[in-house]
Structure 1
Amino acid sequence: MKQWILKLLKIIGIALTVLLAGLIILIFFTGPKLPENADSIIDQVLDSPIPELVKGESGYIVSDNTKIWYESVMPKDTNKGAVLLFMGISNDALGWPQKFTDKFVENGYQVIRFDYRGTGFSDWVENWEEKPYALADLATDAKIILDTLKIKKVHLVGVSLGGMVAQEFAIKYTDRTKTLTSIMSSGNITDPELPQISKRVVFDLVKTAIKYGIISNEKNTIKLQLAARTILRGNAHYPINVKDISEQILYNLRKRNGYNLNASSQHHEATYRSGSRYDQLKELKLPVLIIHGINDPFIPIEHSKKLAKIIPHSKTKWFENMGHDIQPVHMEAISQEIILNFGSDRY
């Protein structure tokens, strides 16, 4: 009897070893291929001085006993108005590419970006159960920033989760909103009539996080972000800006607070706590631009198409060969569409 038990344990041990080996192979030898010359570019960035990425006036506000960091960049000449930027899930203000935000400043607009709760220099929520929040709370954080800067009305631009927060702002503070631009986002991410967030993409992102997160160092953190961008590109074909992304990540690691591992799950929970915005969005009476990449593998374009049907007089722009990301190849066209919407007379 004893020998039988030992033999069974041995078989179980072998099976677990094989399973573990298979899992290791799955994680470390599959997944997205990093952009060409990524290693050499990363090494060059690691060995070079980090460029300054915060060029405007920065400060803090306090919202619901939570400290929120923001930056305001003024145009050189005439100020045509303010643009308030909302970044995607678990990303801080620096997630906005400098070359993209510069296009608004160069066209005469004040640009404001801020770190969500749980990111960058803003307070990180240590105990979610004691201090949960919804997307509307993130919108209120932004509104208090405007109060502090004495700005009455703004153009809203949000990407992914940021598009949802921008929608919440437009609904809750319509009198403070000039225009709304929603980029690769949704009015109800759990809408049963629409394709849901891709489980395959989520699995690939988790697998990539394990691959580059087991040995945590600056180079692997950069590789993790680059691999995630590759996954979010889907079946589109365009270059990923390795140098700029590497510099932004390194700036966060060396000059800011790095990356909060809990931010993604907390923002995810805030999204699901917020529910549908369809009924409120139907009542919006302001120029709305809806942008989405046709190749988006994360939030299917059907979400933006439904938004367009719901929001009165909204304008749409679907970009071919674009995934769930804003890369240099699309920046000029996207910024031009947004600036055109700033001057819209649809209302």
Structure 2
Amino acid sequence: MDSATGLCYETYGDRANPPLLLIMGIGTQLNGWDRGFVDGLAGAGFFVIRYDHRDVGLSRRSDGTPDLAAIRRGDLRTLPYTLDDLAADAVGLLDALGISRVHLLGASMGGMVAQLVAITYPERVLSLCSLMSSTGDRSVGQAHPATMELMRRPAPATREEVVEAAVERSRVLAGSGFPFDEDAARSRAAVAYDRAHDPAGRLRQQAAAIASPDRTVALRGLRVPTLVVHGSDDRLIDVSGGRATANAVPGALLEVVDGMGHGIVPGAWSQIIAAIRHNAARATGDNR
């Protein structure tokens, strides 16, 4: 835990290597980045940092219960913070670690936050990878109806119910091109519950994502090497969101992983890591 930012973080690899900051999605703790994937990134030559956003895991907590319906209507009076605030948190963590410039990898909502770091703090960014994310344009990247129905189910109450609901979500969101590992999904859900289960914090993060405006115009102004990675079978954020992101950023590379859903499956790790490494190699300047 960093005392200045109130954010819990972990680092992997040689600090002499170029830093890579991993930014996760709504309600997902730092261990949502599978350790095997993290080790693969470190082995590819990065100094890897993963952390808990505010309101998740072991990081600091906010207060209040947002009115999601009102926020969707544009009434932001109950909005506790924005994705811009989460982007500022990420930069604050870099400051605390003494890192001036960084490669960014953001997944889902974390992709949106990573985009905002690149938009707002371009001098801090060496390269950007937006993974299974979107631009904020509501005409693209929308969830499939069956997925929305699943997400709107009443919140489970007990540890067992929470874990089983997480396994069911993982199964629904898994793509058709890779085997679904139920035991691994159940283990991840149990570890996450026991480490820090906080549904209220997830709601506050969800509110920030709902209130976030379309970033398309701002993305067109980016001049940082950018990679967009998306699964062809993503049923939570449709692949159209990834395509729109790549179309918005000048010179962006698009890597569509055939058969991958909303998740970073082990069978795609080598492809994704190779694409990230290739994009990072397009960056110039001080890697520290």
Give TM-score, length-normalised by structure 2. Answer: 0.87
Compute the displacement of 1:151 (Å): 0.6
Cα 1:280–1:204 change in 2 (3 A) is same
Larger radius of gyration: 1
Greater RCO, 1 or 2 (C-alpha within 8 Å, sep 6+):
2
Q: 1:229 to 1:109 in 2, by over 3 A?
A: same
Q: What does residue range 215-294 of structure 1 map to in structure 2 within 5 Å?
A: 216-217=158-159, 219-234=160-175, 236-254=176-194, 256-257=195-196, 259-294=197-232
Report the Cα offset of residue 187 of structure 1: 1.0
Residues of 2 paired with 1:317 and 1:62: CA distance? 37
Matches of 1:179 and 1:161 in 2, distance apart? 18
1:159, 1:121 → 2: CA distance? 19
Please tell me whether the aligned partners of residues 287 and 346 of structure 1 are also in contact (alpha carbons under 8 angstroms). Answer: no
Q: Does 1:300 align with 2:242?
A: no
Whether the 8 Å CA contact 2:170–2:185 is kept in 1: the answer is no
Identity of aligned residues (%): 28
Task: Show structure 1 runs of 5+ residues with no match.
Answer: 1-58
1:60 aligns with 2:2: yes
- The two structures, once aligned, show a CA RMSD in angstroms of 2.2
SS in 2 for 1:60: coil
Contact map agreement 2:83 2:208 (CA 8 A) in 1: yes
Please, which of 102, 117, 122 is the counterpart of residue 39 of structure 2?
A: 102
Paired residue for 2:73? none
Cα distance in 2 for residues equivalent to 1:86 and 1:92:
10
Change (3 A) 1:182 1:126: same
Question: Does 2:257 match 1:311?
Answer: no
Q: CA deviation at 1:277?
A: 1.1
Equivalent residue pairs, number: 274
Amino acid at match of 1:60: D
The equivalent residue for 2:151 is: 205
- In the alignment, is residue 145 of structure 1 matched against residue 84 of structure 2? no
Distance 2:144 2:190 in 1: 29
Amino acid corresponding to residue 179 of structure 1 in structure 2: S
Name the counterpart of 1:114. 51
The alpha carbon displacement at 1:221 in A equals: 3.0
Unaligned runs of 5+ in 2: 67-77
Q: Which one-letter code corresponds to 1:143 in the other structure?
A: V
Q: What is the CA deviation profile of residues 27-72 of structure 1, one whole-angstrom value per residue up to 9, with x for unaligned ones? A: xxxxxxxxxxxxxxxxxxxxxxxxxxxxxxxx22444xxx221122
- Distance between the aligned counterparts of 2:161 and 2:271, measured in 1? 32
Aligned partners of 1:189 and 1:196 also within 8 Å = no
Q: Is 1:69 the equivalent of 2:8?
A: yes
CA deviation after TM superposition for structure 1 residue 123, in Å: 2.1
